Amino acid sequence: MLKEHTAPSELDVIEKPQTATIFDRYLFCQPYIQGKKVLDAGCGEGMSTMVLHALGAKSIKGVDINYDAIMTAGLRYGQGPHYGFHNMGITSAPFPESHFDTVVSLEVIEHIPLENLPETFRAFKRFCKDGGKIIISTPNIYSYHGLTKKIPEGKHDWGYHWSKTREMIAEHWDNFETYGILEKEATVKMGDKTYKHMCSFLIDEIDMENVPLGLEVVFFIIINTKGE
């Protein structure tokens, strides 16, 4: 249940039904952030931070290396007693070790050069307490948008295939689970009117083996830090 703050207007699923699947991604994170001290790594303009806060995070810090994005977040949402925005890179953030119960980084890793990902993952490990959770998501590069978007050689600015995502995570953690959120448009006819709405379906790793080219899927990794 939402508390203290309503979700940002960008997620008004009545006025903007296409955003329903974006909200579903945050709902997927809810069991891992409720009542927890959360780090939102790569928060952009603050929408993810505020939605996770509204979904029950005890406190949440949003960090992003992009100055303009953080300034927009500050102007849009301000700073609160239980949430805040900070312009910094995750690898140089001054938070104490094991400071957060949960580290969330949604659709961020695809914007980080591959050679910098190990340092980023080490920062996630450093800031997340033993027994906490690290949640990482990235889009499927073989979705329709990924296949039709021009990606510069050597860049991965749209996402990864799920097997590559899993491989990268396995280099740093042993104990993790993989899921996918499949997005598909649904059409409903009522009388002489037709309504279109985006729907989300949670799929497990076995199903991801069979995802055909072109489907919109966002991969989620839930890392269990106990014993790491």
> Strands, DSSP E only, in 90-127?
100-106
Query: pLDDT category, 221, cuts 50, 70, 90?
Result: confident
pLDDT surpasses 60 at 19 = no
Residues 141-164 have a mean pLDDT of 58
Compute the distance between CA of residue 20 and CA of residue 41 in angstroms, rounded to an integer: 22
Residue 12 makes CB contacts below 8 A (sequence gap 6+) with: 19
For residues 135 and 29, the answer to whether their CB atoms sit within 8 Å is yes
- pLDDT exceeds 60 at position 13: no
Does the pLDDT at position 39 exceed 90? yes
64 confidence band (pLDDT: 50, 70, 90): very high
What was the pLDDT predicted at 211?
62
Got the DSSP string for 131-188? EEEEEEEEEBTTBHHHHHS---TT--SS-B-HHHHHHHHHTT-SSEEEEEEEEEEEEE
Mean confidence (pLDDT) of the chain: 79
- Chain centre distance of CA 105: 5
* Exposure on the CB side of residue 115, measured as CA atoms within 13 A: 2
* Burial group, residue 125, by CB count within 10 angstroms (0-12, 13-18, 19+): middle
Please report, to the nearest 10 degrees, the dihedral formed by the alpha carbons of residues 145, 160, 92, 44 taken in order: 20
Residue 130 and residue 225 in contact, taking contact as beta carbons nearer than 8 Å = yes
- Higher-scoring residue by pLDDT: 106, 209: 106
Q: What is the pLDDT of residues 170-198, one digit of tens each?
A: 999 999 988 877 766 656 666 777 655 55
H helix intervals, 34-160? 47-54, 67-77, 117-127, 144-148
Domains of the chain: 9-224 (3.40.50.150)
